[in-house]
């Protein structure tokens, strides 16, 4: 039995696991890993797994930033709203 280290990426945390496999299976796996296509497939799979998380995080960050901007705009306009309401009340009451 030969230990084979496997890296697993899950939720941006890199974890390392060691599993035991038979020598024959290890040699077959080694041949596949040495092939160029395996590296391309592996990197493409990692990108496809990470991309949705990056998009989700960017969206969350954007919504938080936009909420701060909206709050600043609302607080700046609050004085104008009170002034307009006072003007309407004064015009309606005739005074």
Distance separating alpha carbons of residues 32 and 41, to the nearest angstrom: 12
What lies within 8 Å, CB to CB, of 2 at 6+ separation is 20, 21, 22, 23, 26
Distance separating alpha carbons of residues 9 and 49, to the nearest angstrom: 9
Low-confidence ranges of the chain (pLDDT < 50): 1-14
Q: What per-residue confidence (pLDDT) applies to 63?
A: 92
Residue recorded with tokens 């909420």: 67
The whole-model pTM stands at 0.38
Q: What per-residue confidence (pLDDT) applies to 52?
A: 76
Q: What per-residue confidence (pLDDT) applies to 21?
A: 55
């Amino acid at each position: 039995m030969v230990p084979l280290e496997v890296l697993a990426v899950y939720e941006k945390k890199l974890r390392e696991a060691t599993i035991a496999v038979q020598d024959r299976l290890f040699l077959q796996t080694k041949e596949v890993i040495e092939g160029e296509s395996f590296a391309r497939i592996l990197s493409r799979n990692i990108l496809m797994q990470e991309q949705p998380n990056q998009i989700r995080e960017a969206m969350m960050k954007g919504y938080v930033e936009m909420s701060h901007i909206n709050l600043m705009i609302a607080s700046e306009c609050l004085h104008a709203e009170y002034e307009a309401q006072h003007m309407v009340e004064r015009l309606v009451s005739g005074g």
